[in-house]
Amino acid sequence: MNSMWTVMSFTMRNKLRSKSFIVTTIILAVLLVVGSNVPYFIDKFASGDGATKVGYITNEPGDLIKGLEMYYGKQEKPKVELVPIEAAGSADANVQALLQAIENKEIKGYLTFAPNEQAGFPDVTYHSKKMLDTDTQQSLQAAFQEAKTNQAIQDAKLTDAQLKLLFDPVKIQAVQISDNANGKTAEEQGTAIGLTYVILILLFMAVMITGQLIATEITAEKSSRVMEIIVTSVSPLKQMFGKVLGTFIVGLVQIVVLVGATIVSMQLPHNANSFKSLGIRLDTIDPKMLIFAVVLYLLGYFLYAMLFAAIGSIVSRTEDLGQAVMPVTMLTLAGFYIAIFGLTHPESPFIVACSYIPFFSPFILFLRIGLSNPAWWEIALSVGILVASVLIIGWLAAKIYRVGVLMYGKKPSLKEVMKAMKAYKV
């Protein structure tokens, strides 16, 4: 047992002191800090002027222009600014005046109106040298729609009480029903989606980075023949579990640093206000999600760590490692992408079925726990299958490792590995 702890402590010291680990951790922390500030950047840019200046000729329909001015006058940060251009006397002269205003950068585009007796509302055309952006188009459509509605209301001569009933907004409160009758509010749902997305990314990064570290170190020791010296002092099984546990602690330290940097960044006053404006509140996080995040991280890590260790033990050259670990990498990517695509449909039959596949369940089960309400037996069954898979794969990985570390030359085939495992005597 002492030798296993020796391997574990050596692995920890070796990784924590390496420049690549320190640089990678710093880069990832910076990326996460930047990512946690994205809502603030969005809010900051959105709070700027940014209004598209749209021109019109002063002799255009007065009621219509007045309606547009009333619409944008009620907005704190309108996306469109109406700019009147003096009429030049004729249609052609008006067009030239509008074009000149564009050349002088007084406006970005201008509106023209053509009568439409059948529709009861003029046909509107927006002219500009550049394509009309979506925000400006939607803003203008909403403004004209309100102007058209107001015109229809005036023609109908509705009373003030009728107008109030007509314009009172319909409020829909979204509550997610759960088994304990305590539903999730809109804020809790937004927070759950954000937390689920972040933890899925962290889990994927942790599995990929630590798994690659394990496989790379084992293969490097084999290629340099250091493995032949190590096995004389430490049994292969203690060596494998020591490396897996040591790398696990290194990965855990990295995750703590990354999560800590993210939380500190999110708690800054400007970020707190931005997240609140998006309906994301950290005080609404369900503790159950954090508990399952830790449990599924542990199970997911050991499941894939054993696979990476077994594959690393049968590869003699680091150049062949990338191709050897490709199947495991594809499994990890598949689980991650299925979970990401399942964010909008967490209860689809495909997602539910994938939550019972052990290679996918660390990602998919957490998705379902965060965004839906799976029954307790579904969670227990998925976790049970995952635990059993970790034990079985750990047993197989141990058998492969103790014969693979001393197999040199070309990468052995599956048949050769199985034959060596049967011939190995404990």
Report how far residue 41's alpha carbon sits from residue 51's, in angstroms, rounded to the nearest whole number. 18
What pLDDT does residue 421 have? Answer: 55
The pLDDT > 70 percentage for the chain reads 72
- State the average pLDDT for the chain: 76
Does the pLDDT value for residue 383 go beyond 90? yes
Quick one: pLDDT band at residue 231, thresholds 50, 70, 90?
low
Residue 360 CB neighbours (<10 A): 24
Residue of 342 and 179 predicted with greater confidence:
342
Q: With beta carbons less than 8 A apart as the criterion, state whether 325 and 311 touch.
A: yes
Quick one: pLDDT band at residue 181, thresholds 50, 70, 90?
very low
What pLDDT does residue 94 have? Answer: 84
What pLDDT does residue 48 have? Answer: 47
Q: Tell me what the mean pLDDT of segment 169-174 comes to.
A: 56
Q: Tell me what the mean pLDDT of segment 280-302 comes to.
A: 78
Q: Tell me what the mean pLDDT of segment 120-148 comes to.
A: 80
Q: Which CATH number fits domain 51-167: 2.40.160.20, 2.60.40.10, 3.40.50.460, 3.40.190.10?
A: 3.40.190.10
Q: Tell me what the mean pLDDT of segment 392-403 comes to.
A: 81
Longest distance between any two alpha carbons in the chain, whole Å: 103
Residue of 98 and 264 predicted with greater confidence:
98
Report how far residue 425's alpha carbon sits from residue 360's, in angstroms, rounded to the nearest whole number. 34
**Tens-place pLDDT, residues 246-284:** 888 888 888 888 778 777 776 776 666 655 555 555 566
What pLDDT does residue 82 have? Answer: 85
Q: Which helix (H) or strand (E) holds 33?
A: helix 19-36
- Tell me how far CA of residue 89 lies from CA of 92, 95, 406, in angstroms: 9, 11, 94
The residue type of 231 is V
What pLDDT does residue 199 have? Answer: 78
What pLDDT does residue 241 have? Answer: 78
The SS3 assignment for 290 reads helix
Residue of 403 and 143 predicted with greater confidence:
143
- 387: which residues sit within 8 A by CB, 6+ positions away? 299
Among 213, 224, 345, 196, smallest CA distance to 285 is for: 196
- CATH 3.40.190.10 residue ranges of the chain are 51-167
Q: Tell me what the mean pLDDT of segment 104-117 comes to.
A: 84
Report how far residue 360's alpha carbon sits from residue 260's, in angstroms, rounded to the nearest whole number. 27
Does the pLDDT value for residue 399 go beyond 50? yes
**Tens-place pLDDT, residues 369-381:** 877 778 889 999 9
Q: With beta carbons less than 8 A apart as the criterion, state whether 314 and 407 touch.
A: yes
User: What dihedral angle (degrees, nearest 10) is formed by the CA atoms of 327, 354, 282, 29?
Assistant: 0
SS3 content of the chain, % helix, strand, coil (to 5): 70, 5, 25
Quick one: pLDDT band at residue 45, thresholds 50, 70, 90?
low
Quick one: pLDDT band at residue 180, thresholds 50, 70, 90?
very low
What pLDDT does residue 47 have? Answer: 47
**Tens-place pLDDT, residues 60-72:** 767 778 888 888 8
Of the given ranges (33-37, 184-188, 310-314, 325-329), which has the lowest mean pLDDT?
184-188
**Tens-place pLDDT, residues 204-221:** 887 887 888 788 877 777
Q: Tell me what the mean pLDDT of segment 65-94 comes to.
A: 82
What pLDDT does residue 380 have? Answer: 92
Provide the token pair at 195.
Answer: 């937390």
